Amino acid sequence: MKNYDIKKRKTLAENIKLFEIEAPLIAKNAKPGNFVILRIDDHGERIPVTITDSDVENGTITIVVQEVGKTTKKLGMLNEGDKILDVVGPLGRETEIKNYGTVVCIGGGVGIALIYPEIKAFKKAGNYVISIVGSRTKDLMIFEEEISKMSDEFYITTDDGTKGRKGFVSDVLKELIDDGKKIDIVMAVGPIIMMKVVADVTRPYGIKTIVSLNPIMIDGTGMCGGCRVQVGGNTMFACVDGPDFDAHQVDFDNLIARNKRFLEEEKVSLEGLKNG
């Protein structure tokens, strides 16, 4: 089944690229919340990437990747027609989609693309969908059109105020709550610190909040516990028990620390790529 051809490649913003990859079995079974593990070449590492969209008819899945280290940079250098050596999925539990009433979906940075499948699914399930998306600056804003089309209310924030309102996604969420907006569930995908802040905002109000966690993974099938996270005092494997968890139960500080495990090695690796 070595047919992981890159069918389409598109630059969405600086260092953020979209790929459509031929993987018919994955496309057929992918649900919102699922991810794949990919390995670019023989010497490559395995990295987890969220499935942003899938096209059963064409047998493709869509992923959106931000270039942050060696592997994502190497991926970014691949072109249409190139192949990825290994793509396995769909992995992880799917997001629990049903008609909750009013859903607030929050995406930060590349997380804006990653929460798109949930936004679509929540809308389809009959929810009133409020989307709040945030990026550092206007040039990094992605998936604006797609998300606005699927949302009943749509808010954009940028850290520097170059697009939408100046500030953070959590500021908008707080305002909605303060305005007395009835919110049944909040889902947030993005940098850990953003998800942590969202959890802190909703906690005093008892609003159910789901986050999609992004720990370091190796196999992605529950075999090694490299992705373990502390949730409600228990150890969970994000790849099989998640990646979605109740935000109010997650130990974010432990996750932040664990994701820094290989910081030095990641730098060495990236330097190696730059120096050819």
Partner 1 sequence: MADGKKKIPKLSYPMPQQDPKERIKNFDEVALGYDMEVAIKEAERCLQCKREEGKEICIDGCPVEIDIPAFIKCIREERMEDALNIIREKNNLPAICGRVCPQEQQCQKYCRLGKGKGRDPVSIGRLERFVVDYSVKKQSVDPLKKKDKKVAIIGSGPAGLTAAGDLAKLGYNVTIFEALHDTGGVLRYGIPEFRLPKSIVDREVEYIKKLGVNIETNVVVGKTIGMDELIDEYDAVFVGSGAGSPMFMNIPGENLNGIYSANEFLTRINLMKAYKFPEYDTPIKVGKVTAVIGGGNVAMDASRCALRAGAERSMIIYRRTEEEMPARKEEVEHAKEEGVEFHILTNPVRYIGDEKGNVKQIECIKMELGEPDESGRRRPVPIKGSEFLMDVDTVVVAIGNTPNPLIPDNTKGLKISKKGTIVVDDNGKTSIDKVYAGGDITTGAATVISAMGAGKKAARAIDKFLSS
64 is in an annotated binding site: yes
Q: With respect to partner 1, which residue has the nearer C-beta, 61 or 110?
A: 61
CB atoms within 10 A of CB 77: 11
Which of 7/174 has CB closer to partner 1?
7
Give 199 or 236: the residue with its C-beta nearer to partner 1: 236
Identify which of residues 182 and 260 has a Cβ nearer to partner 1 in the complex: 260
Q: Closer to partner 1 by CB, 46 or 163: give it.
A: 46
CA distances from 36 to 28, 52, 166, 247, 265 (A): 13, 10, 34, 22, 23
Q: Which residues bind partner 1 (CB under 8 A)?
A: 1, 25-26, 29, 39, 43-46, 70-71, 85-91, 218-219, 221-226, 228-230, 235, 240, 254, 257-258, 260-262, 265-266, 268-269, 272
Separation CA 4–CA 168 (nearest Å): 37
Rounded Cα gap, residues 218 and 239, in angstroms? 9
Cβ at position 44, least distance to partner 1 in Å: 5
169 in Cβ contact with 108 (< 8 Å): yes
The 3-state secondary structure of 203-238 reads HHHCCEEEEECCCCCCCCCCCCCCCEEEECCEEEEH
Question: Residue 104 annotated as binding?
Answer: no
Distance of CA 125 to the CA centre of its chain: 21
Q: How far is the CB of 132 from partner 1 (least distance, A)?
A: 31
- Compute the distance between CA of residue 274 and CA of residue 276 in angstroms, rounded to an integer: 5
Closer to partner 1 by Cβ: residue 74 or 208: 74
The two counts, helices (H) then strands (E), for the chain are: 10, 16
Least separation in angstroms between CB 234 and partner 1: 8
Q: What is the CA radius of gyration of the chain?
A: 18
CA angle 95, 101, 105 (to 5 degrees): 50
Closest distance between partner 1 and the C-beta of residue 83, in Å?
13
Instruction: Give Dmax over CA atoms of the chain in angstroms.
Output: 56
Residue 105 assigned to a binding site: no
Q: How far is the CB of 218 from partner 1 (least distance, A)?
A: 6
CA 232 to chain CA mean position, Å: 22
Q: Tell me how far, at minimum, the Cβ of 194 lies from partner 1, in Å.
A: 20
The binding site for [2Fe-2S] cluster comprises 224, 227, 239
The binding site comprises 64-66, 224, 227, 239
The binding site for FAD comprises 64-66
